[in-house]
Amino acid sequence: MRRDLFEADHEALRETARTFVEREVVPHQDAWLEQGLVDRSAWLAAGAQGLLGIAAPAEHGGAGERDYRYRMVLIEEFARVGAASFNAGTCAQDDLVVPYLMDLGTPEQRKAWLPQLVAGEAIGALAMTEPGAGSDLQGIRTTAVRDGDGWRLSGSKTFITNGIHADVVIVFARTDPDAGSRGYSLFLVESAAEGFRRGRKLEKLGLRGNDTAELFFDDIALPATALLGTPGRGLGHLMERLPLERLSIGATSYAFARAAYDWTTEYVFERKAFGQPIGDFQHTRFTLAELSTELDIAQVYVDRAVLALNDGSLTPVDAAKAKWWLTDLHNRVVDRCVQLHGGYGYMLEYPITRAYADARIQPIFGGTNEIMKEIIGRDLARQHRTDG
């Protein structure tokens, strides 16, 4: 299907990104998977090529370009070579940490961190999830209490993308237990702070080249300048930025599902059985026809969502729809592609096998797909009550 989403400037970035991926990513992926993290040298190389923090203002080293189509280009180029782990890290940095700083940071906070993040000299993380609180963010136990002009932060987080490498972490904490949804705030916590402690680098089913970690905050003394955004508005700040986070997950799923389909199409017309390419068997053709059609439909939706994000009209409900539908599709596509690979689809030397493991997290993080359906369902019920 013809795709009209991208313009000449986006395709120019694609050329740069493709060269970077072939030179700085492809040769090192096996090593990153074995060690469980992407080398910092790759982050620095990405920064040097202008592939990080594209949305950041020019005075902080970025391109000042919030058009999400540029990020979509990068996601697609990572997907083309199966670089899910590096993509996960850069999505956390560019679709979460950088926008939070841009939107909520003081001039001093932006000046301190954005240039480093854009250059790849610093790596950022967003810490929301706790061992007993995943999708239920109001169930967190991490607290920040007033201490003179500053704060004291105590608690722990888990499943934190970029947790081992992170130089700065945006931490979601409870600041007033009696204020309900107005009792949470965000803080910028430097990894060098006394009392900051990294726990285990977690062993995962997929995304094994990304450093996912436990983080501990042992009575950290934070200055007043560590507060990010408005005190008591932490939950609201998160909710306001969920459309971008969930579109990032959905866009990733679309790109990686498309890549899995492309690898599989190439494979089935090279692999022979019973004297002919397995792509010439009717069952294979029917499977490819179904996947191709579903991916074309998904492409229309994700492209529309990207443009809606750009013009500020992407609602939390529409983002939830994109997240659950695209991540479910991602898993269906990869599962059927593994089947078409036969026994080789179970061998880790084949990218489709790694893709199968990498895909499984997509319906879980960023809010489980069950939560996405609840968000959509509540909106439908609200509309029905209003219309009635």
Average pLDDT over residues 28-55: 97
pLDDT in tens, 314-345: 999 999 999 999 999 999 999 999 999 999 99
Both tokens of 264, joined, read 């599989």
Average pLDDT over residues 219-247: 96
Residue 217, pLDDT > 90, answer yes
pLDDT in tens, 59-105: 999 999 999 999 999 999 999 999 999 999 999 999 999 999 999 99
pLDDT tier at 3 (50, 70, 90 boundaries)? confident
Residue 384, pLDDT > 90, answer no
Q: Specify the pTM.
A: 0.95
Residue 387, pLDDT > 70, answer no
pLDDT in tens, 284-322: 999 999 999 999 999 999 999 999 999 999 999 999 999
What is the Cα–Cα distance from 206 to 203, expressed in whole angstroms? 9
| Cβ within 8 Å of residue 44, ≥6 positions away | 119, 120, 121
For the chain, list the domains and their CATH numbers.
8-122 (1.10.540.10), 126-232 (2.40.110.10), 236-387 (1.20.140.10)
Residue 92 near residue 241 (C-beta atoms within 8 A) = no
What is the Cα–Cα distance from 380 to 388, expressed in whole angstroms? 12
pLDDT of residue 139: 85
What is the Cα–Cα distance from 361 to 206, expressed in whole angstroms? 8
- Enumerate the active-site residues: 245
pLDDT in tens, 204-216: 999 999 999 999 9
What is the Cα–Cα distance from 217 to 220, expressed in whole angstroms? 6
pLDDT of residue 18: 98
pLDDT in tens, 110-154: 999 999 999 999 999 999 999 887 677 788 999 999 999 999 999
Mean pLDDT of the chain: 96
pLDDT in tens, 356-374: 999 999 999 999 999 999 9
Burial 167-177 (b: 16+ CB within 10 A, else e): bbbbbbbbbbe
Rg (CA), the chain: 21
Q: Which residues in 116-237 belong to E strands, given as ranges?
A: 124-127, 143-147, 150-161, 168-174, 184-190, 196-201, 212-222, 227-228
Residue 40, pLDDT > 80, answer yes
What is the Cα–Cα distance from 66 to 93, expressed in whole angstroms? 14
Average pLDDT over residues 207-232: 97
pLDDT tier at 250 (50, 70, 90 boundaries)? very high
